[in-house]
Amino acid sequence: MRSKKLSTILLATTLTMALVATPVSQVVVHADQQTTTSSNSASATQTHTINKSYVVYGAGAADKSELSNILGVSDDFTTLTATASDYQKYINPNDSTTNAAMVSSVSIVPTDPGSGVKVNVKKFNGQSNITKVTAQQYAMVAQMAGVTDVTITVSANRPVSGESALTGVYKALNEDGINLNSQNTQSANQMLGATNKAIDANKDDSSYPGKLMAAVGDTTKQINKQKRQGDQPTQVQIEATLNQNLKKQNIYNETKNYTTTIVNALVQFNNAPISSSKDYSSHVSDTINNVKNSTGDMMNKAKQFLNSKDGQAAQQQAHSWWDRFVNWIQGFFN
């Protein structure tokens, strides 16, 4: 009789764990997901995530307390500051920017393996202060630079273009012990500027940034596949591949007048080490899936809910229910 009761308890436990597994996994932060670099630079793993959460405020940012709330910062975040010298180090060594111009701020949180890059661009006191760069641009550019399996949240206390926000992402990875290859970051940064005109020209179509960055991502994936097979794509081939992917996304006519700079950025990607990386294709596929069907500034709405008061209350209720269930199980053996 006791054996039958124990079997029933074990079955109930298994079913319950299956039911609660999905919501619990959404809030677990997985450490030690950093990938390693092989000794062969031609095929080295160039894609990385982080081991903990960071918030990086621009040196010129004000109202940091409010920014902290908007960026979803908690006590376990490591706090950094992005300075003008950081911008010159990671983005543009020839730019004479100042600390006062470093306004956009970011939080970066590690997520489950295979989640790719997701980006939320959040309003500050109801104002959309990131005026130029879209969430989809941030996501694909970060992936091209060698960042993956993170959620990045961006905001600013006053209107700015948002182009310096990537400085904070790169600085967080450096603080985490990862030195991103400068050729990778430079080609990624070039793509950020290369896609701006096309997105601005199609600003009335909220789905356009996701479609464009998906086409860019698919092109980088095909470049990577060719190079892993020992081929060296030419500029003509890269342009043809991009045009094919733009047609696949049904935005070729809307983009054809702006492809020259995008192709030039893809050529730079082709020359960067990450284009030969053995794991790039799998990671960029995750980010392509994130951007291609996304519209607007919020790419990770599930995380937004879990960080909200309602989400926290739901989590607390689930944990309380689980505690009661465990106590009930233990009662059979007392």
DSSP-based three-state secondary structure for 102: coil
Sorting pLDDT into bands at 50, 70 and 90, what band is 241? very high
Backbone angles phi, psi at 147, to 5 degrees: -105, 140
Question: Using an 8 Å Cβ cutoff, are 237 and 275 in contact?
Answer: no
**Dist CA 143 CA 292 (whole Å):** 14
DSSP-based three-state secondary structure for 308: coil
**The pLDDT value given to residue 48:** 86
The conformation of residue 75, written as its DSSP 8-state character, comes to T
DSSP-based three-state secondary structure for 79: strand
Question: Using an 8 Å Cβ cutoff, are 186 and 89 in contact?
Answer: no
Q: What is the pLDDT of residues 65-86, one digit of tens each?
A: 999 999 999 999 999 999 999 9
**CA distances to 17, 55, 104 from 172, in Å:** 35, 8, 14
Q: What is the pLDDT of residues 144-157, one digit of tens each?
A: 999 999 999 999 99
Backbone angles phi, psi at 305, to 5 degrees: -65, -45
**The pLDDT value given to residue 301:** 60
Q: Are strands 78-82 and 54-58 parallel, antiparallel or unpaired?
A: parallel
Q: What is the pLDDT of residues 78-116, one digit of tens each?
A: 999 999 999 999 998 888 889 999 999 999 999 999 999
Q: Which H or E run contains 38?
A: none
Q: What is the pLDDT of residues 284-316, one digit of tens each?
A: 999 999 999 888 888 876 444 344 333 443 344
Mean pLDDT of 246-270: 97
Computed from CA positions of residues 90, 92, 97, 100, in that sequence, does the dihedral angle turn out positive or negative? Answer: negative
Q: What is the pLDDT of residues 12-50, one digit of tens each?
A: 444 344 433 433 333 222 222 233 333 344 456 678 899
Sorting pLDDT into bands at 50, 70 and 90, what band is 333? very low
Give the position of tokens 């989640």. Answer: 115
**The pLDDT value given to residue 40:** 41
**The pLDDT value given to residue 295:** 85
Question: Using an 8 Å Cβ cutoff, are 294 and 120 in contact?
Answer: no
Mean pLDDT of the chain: 82
% of the chain surpassing 90 pLDDT: 69
- pLDDT above 60 for 194: yes
Give the position of tokens 């284009």. Answer: 275
**The pLDDT value given to residue 250:** 97
**The pLDDT value given to residue 146:** 94
Mean pLDDT of 52-70: 96
298 CB neighbour count, 10 Å cutoff? 16
Query: Alpha helix (H) ranges present in 38-79?
Result: 64-70
Q: What token pair was written down for 191?
A: 């793509």
